[in-house]
Structure 1
Amino acid sequence: ALLMGVVVIGQNGNKGGFTTENLDRSANACQDFYQFATGGWQKANPVPGAFGRWGSFNILAEHNRDALRTILDAAEKNPKAARGSNEQKIGDFYASCMSEAQIEAAGMQPIMPELKAIDKIKDLRSLQAEVARLHSYGVGAMFGFGSLQDAKNSKMVIAVAVQGGLGLPDRDFYTDDSDKMKETRAEYVKHMTNMFQLMGEDAAKAAADANTVMMIETKLARASMTNVEQRDPIKTYNKMTIAQLRELNKNLWWESYFADIKQPGITELNVMQPDFFRALDKELTATSLDDWKTYLRWQLLTTYAPTLSSKFDTENFNFFSKYLNGTKEQLPRWRRCVAATDGSIGEALGEVYVQKNFTPDAKQRMQTMVRNLIAALRDDLQTIQWMGDETRQQALTKLDAIAQKIGYPDRWRNYTALKIDRKSYAGNTMQANVFEFNRQLNEINKEVDRGQWIMTPPTVNAYYQPLRNEIVFPAGILQPPFFDFSADDALNYGAIGAVIGHEMTHGFDDRGRQYDAEGNLRVWWTPDDLKNYQARATCVENQFSGFKVEEGLFQKGKLVLGESIADLGGLKIAYRAFQKSLEGKPRPKDIDGFTPEQRFFLGWAQVWATNYRAEAARQQALTDSHPLSRFRVNGPLSNLPEFAQAYQCKDGDPMVRPTTDRCEIW
């Protein structure tokens, strides 16, 4: 996925087409192209108080939220909406979230039944039964459970168990001994103490409970894979039978868990991180039941805090948004409620959204560009020198098999089983979580439904799914100014074209290359070709490891490798497709002194225009597989001779890497 979307829009009201307002003319394009291309935008677009970072993704996402609000306001006020209809459900969900007086009056009552259930835990069996119940409510206590395609039999869905149970964003927040991480852990304990006090505990008990949770979460973190290790699909494929599960875990009774989640027919499970579950197994008896009950109370509370009364919601915001991300203030209530509705019943909302905000013309033009990009990548695969014919043929077969999804699903999700009313925001959220948990579980041991989407239609993003070998572009990203009928091909190929190329290249990045045309995890590279590929990938990794975020913190080259390969490959492919689109046509005119080739690269750079608070930049560098925007622009462009030629950059300029240091894969 792109994570951050790719659009060019400013608070000055510019809605698309080519503009020089985003530029910083005082900067040198060959010294720092990101500053040259986006410096004007950065100056005009400071980070608003409710955000940790502010970029083109955020602006278009907020624009989409405005459109969704119009839909939800109408649904909320429609007395004729049939009971059980999607319109009734989205209207009632939104209304329950907007009913602040009702939420305040309820306090923590919505989670009281589950808190009482936790209090009744009396042995290991009832502890695990409660964990199963919490999982159905979307609470990731101890570990995560769900379903995914079987990576070695991609036509089928298999049950999966994954490491989890942490309150902080990543295992390294518990294990890193830097001064900043020590401070963060101390602040987290303070936050938990405050939350336990809001539940009614006295100061001493609240502090003790917070330390208990920290102790348990730290043990789970130390047993967890790093975010880099989790990128390895071989390490995270460990399919086990019931007999093997019994051998792996003596205290975690999987057959009882399967019965508790009403899936007794599960006979095999992909345990993605076996070492984590070995450690958890020991902790089930090494840690007292009372401590586990404290931990479960915390997991429930922190999950549902945003849906409870303002004292819980505000304290949750103060730590996770204000402290960790540097955010100064909460988003307006309606914006949070729109996002919550989209997150819980997004396809019900998305069906109305696309009727009002997506045109067949946009889909048709997008399909044309996808075809052009596939043709460009096919030409590349047929001619690259470092790949042998055997691997080349497999790669071409995979390319030809890539499925394309544009705009919205052909078949919408059926929400008949989901009951929503206006009585309780937290209650509706619980019901939506139970619906989604059961939907996933009901797919286990069945053939994959390839019509499903991971993202909702209003989402400003795109993704490649290696197990399905598909590229997906939701309607939310396919609109002006990002995908703009009024803009010339140079900008569109530099923006949406490079994104199409980015998603296609994910099929051949360091993870995607391990899956074949049908989405199965298998070795289809010859040893020599694999060695050549890995050497080229290491070049990209080393480059990005050298990008400094702040004093003492650099990008993690291994973590951002897949996205960086996709950016580099996507740009090269899009540029070739753009050049091919010019064949047989009059050369496009210069605009404001910029050639078509220069505008192509401006299109790429300006879609990543972003301002960061220091806290948000730090957290992205620590936990995110996507590099910071400056490096997403300057990193790949400094490897492209086409860029240097377009801007007449010379050897020795920072934006021109020496031939010996230049990275090239596709």
Structure 2
Amino acid sequence: MRQFRWILTAAALTSTCALAAAPADPAPTQAPARSASGIDLGGIDHAVQPGNDFDNYANGNWKKNAEIPADRSSTGIFLQVFQKAEQRNADLIRDAGKGNPAAGSNERRIADYYAAFMDEDAIEKRGLAPLQPKLKQIDAMAGKADLARVLGNGLRADVDPVNATNFHTEHLFGLFVSHGLEDATHNIPYLLQGGLGMPTRDYYLSDDKAMVETRGKYQAYIAALLKQAGVADADAKATAILALETKIAKAQVDIVDSQDIHKANNPWPLGSFAKNAPGLDWSTFFKAAGLDQQKVVDVWQVPGIKGLAALTASEPLQTWKDYLAFHALNEAAPLLPKAYADLSFGFYGQTLSGTPKQRDRWKRGVASTNAALGDAVGQLYVKKYFPASSRKQVEDMVHNILAAFDERVDHIDWMTPATRQRAKAKIASIRVSVGYPDNWRDYGKLEIRADDALGNLQRADEYEYQHQLAKLRQPVDRGEWWMTPQTVNAVNLPLQNALNFPAAILEAPFFDPKADAAANYGSIGAVIGHEISHSFDNLGAEFDAQGNLANWWTPEDQAHFKAAGQKLVEQFNAYEALPGLHVNGQQTLGENIADVSGLTIAYLAYHKSLGGKPAPVIDGLSGDQRFFLAFGQSWREKIRDAALRQRVIGNEHAPGRFRAQTVRNLDGWYDAFQPKPGEALYLDPAQRVKIW
């Protein structure tokens, strides 16, 4: 559900024997009272006409009363479910150290990682000492071969399974490992563009007033962090670093271009890099990165990689030294003494997201432990919180919705028999995994120490990188999971033709085993339908049943599909998130296709679940009304302006407010709520987007 990227974006979860107990959340998001229908009746604003604004009809009263917690950039259903998982994870992590678990056990690693993170006194006393080896390596660079070596040593893995569009870290390049786009039988490495300290290239290049102000604050932050570390000439170096990052931003390709899978299909022989992307000592780089034995490396963004390689040659070595030193500090700041962590939050939390208060340390400790030891915590999570009965119920729902999708394909009047046959073959071969993976990650070789918070993080990052490299020597794992069971998220994996639904999202109000079917199908059913539909969105539809990049469409069908997609692009282009800032319909197209198609299939599956019987009226609401209200309330959201701007500019998901308006494309919604011509959401039948 990429906040459904092919990953659903929810609030991010981004050891001596006695661990600190996690305190109660000082500002929890209160779950609204839900009626027998599974709908938050009190959240509805009956003063709003559904046909004018379905989001504010379904959620208007909730919005009037909801408050964004001081340590969050937004609130809504996702945060509600996330906070439940966060508290559960905190309890599991706290309890892992009870009974003095044996050295080398997962419980010992969890306990020690969390204890080290929470030991602020030890972190203050060690200061920059844990980072000095990296800083000294950077300072010792004497030529461009050394620069290539440092960049190669610093290469890390991007484990976002689908969005290999930008490597959003301080590293100049990123690595993604999966099977080849045209060969599903072998894993290959993908090289990604990176190198920016702000979210996207737009933050460097846009003339928008807010962006210009953010650049000034970023430069001030760079200088402040360097000064805190005792670096001389910090202001001048901050100016040079921002100038270099601006050149990096100009070299990168934008999000829409990065989403074009055909432009990503560039397997280069290792020996061709020096000619194809001159400037970087590629031989030294690949050897330092452990990739020198590979025959080919796929270059995801050719112009970006060429531009970055050229900059390594054209820009002064001292500027690269300053850039790398700053990013080493920036990446480590959350696990350095408080002064560094506070500076980092001041920019990334307050300036970029508008969040006034930093999260309590125990919450950050839980997030960091989950990131480093996700499967270890995940095993504890599913054992305690995800019964087999819930797994079975969701699996049944997934298969019901898949069956509805298959049946829907039979009745799509514009699709030719050849394309229909291949679409059905793809549906039949989708692999569904619910709750947790069949095989858990082995952390046996990962060293975790109770007195080394930053070192633990560094070793966990290196461990993940080595895990990804090891896949290059192994058969393709079609059942590989890319997120942990305790993640409030879901994912479609086009290269595996697979769906993953982690345990933590399978909670009320998304999924309630005791709830009315209409509410479950409108909420988690639409999530499931969304994920299935990603196999057939503008990107997923490029892959065949085996996960190979292959055109299985007739020209006539592909033309119709693209024309329908263009109507959706135009529909979302019209939505204005902030004054003068519109949603980018092309950038969000894949998610919007999945929303429309997923909701359509969930609606059909809901009606199929009734077995031919009429839906009961509950709380004065028909079954269809409950279904669509459950969908609209799943997307309820209050978000700070800075965070909203960041999402619109840099994310492939439209804001939740506009996703709730997806209902305007379904005929069933018109029957349920009777919107009239002339109302803002009303579309003539010919203008309603029907893709699947």
Q: TM exceeds 0.5?
A: yes
Partner of 1:168: helix, strand, or coil? coil
Name which of 136, 143, 149 aligns with 1:116. Answer: 136
Confirm whether residue 527 of structure 1 aligns to residue 555 of structure 2: yes
**2:198 counterpart of 1:162:** no
- The correspondence for 1:192, drawn from 218, 222, 225, is 222
Q: 1:281 to 1:226 in 2, by over 3 A?
A: same
Q: Counterpart of 2:193 in structure 1: which amino acid? A: Q
**Alpha-carbon offset, residue 266 of structure 1:** 0.9
One-letter code aligned to 1:186: G
Is this contact kept in 1: 2:31–2:80, CA < 8 A?
A: no
Q: Secondary structure at the match of 1:405?
A: strand
CA offsets, 1:163-221, max 9 Å, x none? Answer: 1011110011111122221111111101101111101135xx11111111111111111
3-state SS of 1:127 partner: helix
How far apart are residue 149 of structure 1 and its match?
2.0
Q: Is the 8 A contact 2:191 2:297 kept in 1?
A: yes
Alpha-carbon contact 2:188-2:298 (below 8 Å) kept: yes
Q: Which amino acid aligns with 1:88?
A: R
Provide the C-alpha distance between the structure 2 equivalents of 1:218 and 1:512, rounded to a whole number of angstroms.
Answer: 33
Cα distance in 2, alignment partners of residues 460 and 495 from structure 1: 14
Deviations 1:300-346 (A, max 9, x none): 11111111111110000001110111101011110111011111110
Instruction: Please state whether the residue corresponding to 1:442 is helix, strand or coil.
Output: helix
Deviation at 1:137, TM superposition (A): 9.6
Alignment-mate amino acid for residue 221 of structure 2: H
- Within 2, Cα distance between the matches of 1:146 and 1:137? 6
Alignment map for 1:143-162 (pairs within 5 Å):
143-162=173-192
Alignment partner of 1:659 is 2:685: yes
3-state SS in 2 of match to 1:611 = strand
Q: How does 1:4-19 map to 2 (within 5 A)?
A: 4-5=9-10, 11-12=30-31, 14=33, 17-19=38-40
**Aligned residue for 2:297?**
269
The letter for the 1-side match of 2:123 is: I
Match of 1:490 among 518, 521, 524: 518
Shift of 1:252: 2.0
Work out the CA distance in 2 between the residues paired with 1:528 and 1:118. Answer: 56
- State whether structure 2 residue 644 is matched by structure 1 residue 617: yes
In structure 1, list runs of 5 or more residues that go unmatched: none
| Alignment RMSD (CA, Å) | 1.7
Q: Partners of 2:54 and 2:226 in 1: how far apart?
A: 49
Tell me what 2:64 maps to. Answer: 43
Decide whether aligned partners of structure 1 residues 14 and 105 sit closer, same or farther in structure 2, where only a CA change above 3 A counts.
farther
User: Any conservation in 1 of the 2:190–2:297 contact (CA below 8 Å)?
Assistant: yes
Matched, 1:316 2:337: no
Asked if 2 retains the 8 angstrom alpha-carbon contact of 1:161 and 1:269, the reply is yes
Code of the aligned partner of 1:150: G
**CA distance, structure 2, for counterparts of residue 187 and residue 144 of structure 1:** 26
| 1:103 to 2:131 alignment | no
Q: Structure 2 vs 1, CA of residues 581 and 526 (structure 1 numbering), >3 Å: closer, same or farther?
A: same
CA distance in structure 1 between the aligned counterparts of 2:677 and 2:210, rounded to whole angstroms: 40
Indicate which of 438, 449, 452 corresponds to 1:410.
Answer: 438
Amino acid at match of 1:191: Y
Deviates further, 295-304 or 559-568? 295-304
Aligned-pair identity (%):
35
Report the alpha carbon displacement of residue 142 of structure 1 after superposing the two structures with TM: 1.9
| Cα contact 1:471–1:503 (8 A) shared by 2 | yes
Distance 1:5 1:600 in 2: 22
Structure 1 contact 146–437 (Cα < 8 Å) conserved: no
**Equivalent residue, structure 1, for 2:654:** 627
Alignment of 1:440-455 (within 5 A): 440-455=468-483
Tell whether the 8 Å contact from 1:5 to 1:477 is kept in structure 2 after alignment. Answer: no
Kept in 2: contact 1:11–1:44 (CA 8 A): no
- 1:479-628 equivalences in 2 (<5 Å): 479-585=507-613, 587-628=614-655
- The answer as to 2:149 corresponding to 1:129 is yes
Q: Deviations over 1:597-621 (max 9, x none)?
A: 1000011011111101111111111
Deviates more, 1:207-216 or 1:237-246: 237-246
Tell me whether 504-513 or 125-134 shows the greater mean CA deviation.
Answer: 125-134
Moved over 6 A (4+): none
- CA distance in 1: counterparts of 2:448 and 2:255, whole angstroms: 36
Q: Give yes or no for contact 1:142–1:165 (8 Å, CA) kept in 2.
A: yes
1:48 partner letter: P
Equivalent-residue separation in structure 2 for 1:32 and 1:243 (angstroms):
57
Contact 1:134–1:140 (CA under 8 A) maintained in structure 2 = no
The normalised TM-score by structure 1 is 0.96
Does the 8 A contact of 2:278 with 2:306 survive in 1?
no
Name stretches of at least 5 consecutive residues in structure 2 with no aligned partner. 12-27, 159-168
**Cα gap change, 1:137 to 1:199, in 2 (>3 Å):** farther
Contact 1:160–1:271 (Cα < 8 Å) also in 2: yes
Structure 1 residue 101 displacement after superposition: 1.0
2:15 maps to none
Greater Cα shift, 235-244 or 486-495:
235-244
> For each residue in 1:225-264, what CA deviation from the matched residue of structure 2 results, as whole angstroms up to 9, or x when unmatched?
1011111100011101123223213332333223213343
Compare 590-599 and 174-183 and name the one that shifted more: 174-183
How many residues matched? 659
User: Given the alignment of the two structures, is residue 29 of structure 1 paired with residue 50 of structure 2, yes or no?
Assistant: yes
Give me the TM-score of the superposition, normalised by structure 2: 0.93
Letter in 1 for 2:573: S
CA distance, structure 1, for counterparts of residue 318 and residue 61 of structure 2: 57
Cα shift at 1:58: 1.1
